[in-house]
């Protein structure tokens, strides 16, 4: 192999390695600052629908070869701890219900850690649409869902149910 060909191969290999390292390590961050009108409802029960609001502030990271994740704050009107507690990193796992993540809030009170799991969250794009399946206590357990859903942006039950349905089929 000639010296020129060898040099070209070494340079090409170095460029490919640098591109792969960049793609692996760069997170493609997107700043999110959004507030939405939302509807809280029980699946299939239009009479249960009530208005609420969801505010999202933070950064959504979209690494090329790993799962998307969000760091910041997601607050839901009517759930005070979503505003006063810290939100743990939300990782959107492609293998769990079409890219859901979990909303887990934590704080420390009197030297004791407090952890609250709010529910699972599905989002479309950069939080253009979202559905939160709220975990409610069922027979003494706070880790079961009974169909309480928050969908945004939505101003009525039909819009909210359409978002929830879209999340279920994607």
C-alpha angle 16-20-99 in degrees, rounded to nearest 5: 150
Q: Which two tokens stand for residue 57?
A: 């502030």
Q: Which two tokens stand for residue 24?
A: 């692996």
Query: For the segment 81-110, what is each residue's pLDDT rounded down to a tens digit?
Result: 999 999 999 999 988 877 899 999 999 999
Domain of 103? 26-169
Is 121 within the bounds of a domain?
Answer: yes
Is 149 within the bounds of a domain?
Answer: yes
pTM of the model: 0.80
E-strand ranges in 22-160 read: 29-42, 45-61, 68-76, 86-87, 90-92, 101-109, 112-124, 129-138, 141-152
Is 138 within the bounds of a domain?
Answer: yes
Is 128 within the bounds of a domain?
Answer: yes
Is 16 within the bounds of a domain?
Answer: no
Is 92 within the bounds of a domain?
Answer: yes
Query: For the segment 11-57, what is each residue's pLDDT rounded down to a tens digit?
Result: 778 778 777 766 666 657 889 999 999 999 988 888 889 999 999 99
Domain count, the chain: 1
Is 5 within the bounds of a domain?
Answer: no
- Using CA atoms, how far apart are residues 60 and 57, in angstroms rounded to an integer? 9
Is 89 within the bounds of a domain?
Answer: yes
């Amino acid at each position: 192999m000639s010296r020129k060909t060898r040099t070209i191969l070494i340079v090409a290999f170095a460029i490919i390695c640098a591109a792969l390292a960049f793609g692996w390590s760069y997170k493609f961050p997107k700043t999110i600052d959004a507030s939405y009108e939302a509807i809280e409802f029980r699946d299939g029960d239009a009479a249960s629908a009530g208005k609420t609001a969801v505010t999202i502030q933070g950064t959504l990271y979209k690494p090329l070869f790993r799962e998307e994740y969000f760091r910041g704050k997601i607050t839901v009107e009517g759930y005070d701890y979503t505003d006063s507690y810290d939100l743990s990193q939300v990782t959107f796992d492609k293998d769990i219900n079409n890219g859901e993540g979990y909303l887990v809030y934590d704080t420390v009170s009197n030297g004791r850690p407090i952890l609250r799991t709010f529910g699972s969250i599905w989002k479309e794009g950069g939080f253009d649409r979202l559905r939160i399946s709220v975990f409610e206590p069922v027979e003494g357990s706070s880790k079961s869902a009974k169909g309480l859903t928050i969908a945004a942006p939505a101003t009525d039950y039909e819009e909210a149910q359409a978002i929830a349905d879209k999340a279920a089929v994607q």
